[in-house]
Amino acid sequence: MISLSDLEDIFASGGKLSRRLPSYENRPDQLSMAEDVARCYNENRKGVIEAGTGIGKSYAYLAVALLNAQENSDEKTVIATSNVALQQQLINKDLPTLESALDLDIPYALLLGRNRYVCVSKMLNAVSGFRNREAKLFEEAETAEDKIYSWFRSTETGIMEELENKLLRTSFAANIRSDKDTCLKQRCPHIGKCFYYNAIQKAKNSRLIVTNHALLFIDSYIRAAGDEGFDESVIIPPYNRLIIDECHNIDKSATEFFSLSLSEERVRESYRKLFSITYKNKNNMHLADIITTYKKEITADDARAFNVNLTQFTSEVCIYLKTLVSARDRQLFVSECLVTDTQENFDAVRKGEAAQLLITLDEILKAFRFFLQGLDKNCSDEDEIYINLASGILGEYEEYHDVLLSFYNHGTDDSTVCYYKFRPDEEGVTMCVSPVSIAGRMNDFIFSKLDTVVCTSATVKTGKNFNYFLKQVGLGSGSELVTGFYPSPFDYARNAMLLFPVRGNFMRFDAQQKDSYAEYLAHMIEDCVNASGGSALVLFTSKDMMERVYALVKDNIEMPLLIQKTGTSTNLLRKKFLTEKNSILFGLRSFWEGIDVPGDALRLLIITQLPFPHIQDCIMRARSQLLMKEEKSPFLYISVPEMLITLKQGLGRLIRSESDRGVVIIADGRTSRYIEAIRNCLPPYYIPDEEALDVSSFAGKIENFLF
């Protein structure tokens, strides 16, 4: 039992944290949040807690997890986050600090999915092909291979996200990732140095395990599929307490995890992989030899028929995918559309072709399963690699079958949505199948199985309650649910001014008037960044709009002007923004959350458009259709809550400490229409002359407030 006095001794003035950290400030709400978390532990309850910037939520829940681990050595707590930076902060900073302050020695570990780690065997095999590697290693690294190998020699974790993005995107990096299909497990000569297995072993011996949302979903899915309880070790060791930080992201990330897809790129890659493991060259076969050696009943005709069917399927499905979305649909929908939206009626025109593809694929799967059945018994290490690879490829074709079958039966199941994704500059179309809601799966797979689940974030509430989040993720409500809301302790009324247009020459965002809106934004941005002296972050929801505005202002702003481009490392761009004095950064969605820019490096934050969900988002549309059947407004029940959560994330970039000071502008003229709902979600910003905010006065107000 975690007592209130234990928590007070940690968080109170003169307590353990204040004695350990000279800069520590007692915050009553931090203690209250810790009490909420402790209640979830003590009473085996579920909880949802919003804690604003500056509360110190990670310390609040980590302290409880550590105290519980001290009292119950047989229990484990898993802490799942969506952000790599937060995972590193928890492991490298917060947990060591708390352990020291509490004079505890509780083992903890970071555990991610296998393919997040470099494979030692693959790395060393790749390096052996390079000449004079040791001589070149610590000279100036000119190639990606040099840089990656240098990192490999120094890394303690083997987590490949430690590399910068441009290195991660190389084919060399892709080829050295750990994966289950090629892993020899205990028979690998490098098993003692394996980063993944060492992380697994460390997690088994730990009582706190930090991981990401993706591994949480994978582990829970495998448990559910195999009817395994949480008292068994799957990927994550057995555990009974779960804390989900950054929980506002779990609907999106879980929906993505449970989605299926079929694309020309994926099909061709599956085909290539299968034949690359079947034939090393014309005269040397691997998988084919293994199959015929162990299964004498397979004839040359069987192999020939399989080959013909697979080649036929690959060709036909790729042609099919190229023709699913017409030029007219591409202009109308831009990037995605429901199967029912396309110019050609799927049931009347395309369903028959899908049926033929399913017939061919059924034959392929039947033969594929028969070929592989029983091959893994008494086989050699080398043979097992090829069998595992083939089994993984079989799973890919089974997913393609599920996608085609879902499209063939579309409209018969309200729980899934079938839609197309496409790029304007490419012919190919991706067929996608996603759950309309992940609430049932989250409850069945995770929430109902664990003693304690605590969901926390700085942005969970939409308005005055947690109802939207609770319905999204299936956490439920009622007397058994522990809830807490702790606003930021920072003095927003004194240090943060909020401006939005009510009068003057302003515009409401309109997708049909992009040129005019870009010109309006360009004029406002030029005036306002000049008034702030730079140090401005300008957040966009659209790459197209960002590039339009950038083209209009780039020659008129004398301060350093940065823009997020495709493939640009968010971390490197942030560092450049911090180091280039008075710079201005144009950023997209990845800058709306998880980016910390403290102090005078950020004085002005401009939100160019209220971040409503994209009108063509097919999952949102499917959810909207279900609401309309219930005679409920999708706009009020989905669009507004989603907008508020994203807006809160964006605005949270400005004030990151007690001494930070700055101005927020929400440039979209629609803001005044939703200002009551927005204010219910935000800290108490200073808003001057709310009923008479004139765009032409913004520059003067900014200058007066900041200087």
pLDDT of residue 130: 59
357: left (phi over 0), alpha (psi -120 to 50) or beta: alpha
What are the residues facing 244 on neighbouring strands?
80, 455
**DSSP helix/strand/coil, 196:** helix
The two counts, helices (H) then strands (E), for the chain are 31, 19
CB 97 within 8 A of CB 89: no
Which stretches of the chain drop beneath a pLDDT of 70? Answer: 129-142, 279-285, 376, 378, 477-479
Q: Top-level CATH class of 259-434?
A: mainly alpha
Instruction: Report the candidate in 572, 569, 597 with the shortest Cα–Cα distance to residue 656.
Output: 597
Query: What backbone phi and psi angles, to 5 degrees, belong to 609?
Result: -155, 135
Residue 557: burial class (beta carbons within 10 Å; 0-12, 13-18, 19+):
middle
**Three-state secondary structure readout of 489-546:** CCCHHHHEEEECCCECCCCCCCHHHHHHHHHHHHHHHHHHHHHHCCCEEEECCCHHHH
Alpha carbons 50 and 485: distance in angstroms, whole number: 5
pLDDT of residue 102: 93
Give the neighbor-by-neighbor strand order of the sheet with 416-422: 260-262, 429-435, 416-422, 336-338
Alpha carbons 601 and 184: distance in angstroms, whole number: 50
Tens digits of per-residue pLDDT, 302-323? 888 999 999 999 999 999 999 9
Number of CB atoms found within 10 A of residue 424's CB: 8
Alpha carbons 159 and 638: distance in angstroms, whole number: 37
Tens digits of per-residue pLDDT, 444-472? 999 999 999 999 999 999 888 899 999 99
Identify residue 663 by its one-letter amino acid code.
V
Q: Would strands 536-539 and 208-212 be described as parallel, antiparallel, or unpaired?
A: unpaired
CB 215 within 8 A of CB 242: no
Q: Where are the domains of the chain?
A: 4-107+208-255+438-486, 114-196, 259-434, 492-706
Q: What is the CATH number of domain 492-706?
A: 3.40.50.300
Q: Would strands 584-587 and 536-539 be described as parallel, antiparallel, or unpaired?
A: parallel
- Domains 259-434 and 492-706 agree in fold: no
Instruction: Report the candidate in 397, 386, 399 with the shortest Cα–Cα distance to residue 432.
Output: 399
pLDDT of residue 138: 45
Which CATH number among 3.40.50.261, 3.30.870.10, 3.40.50.2300, 3.40.50.300 corresponds to the domain 4-107+208-255+438-486? 3.40.50.300
Alpha carbons 164 and 682: distance in angstroms, whole number: 34
What are the residues facing 456 on neighbouring strands?
49, 245
**Three-state secondary structure readout of 370-405:** HHHCCCCCCCCHHHHHHHHHHHHHHHHHHHHHHHHH
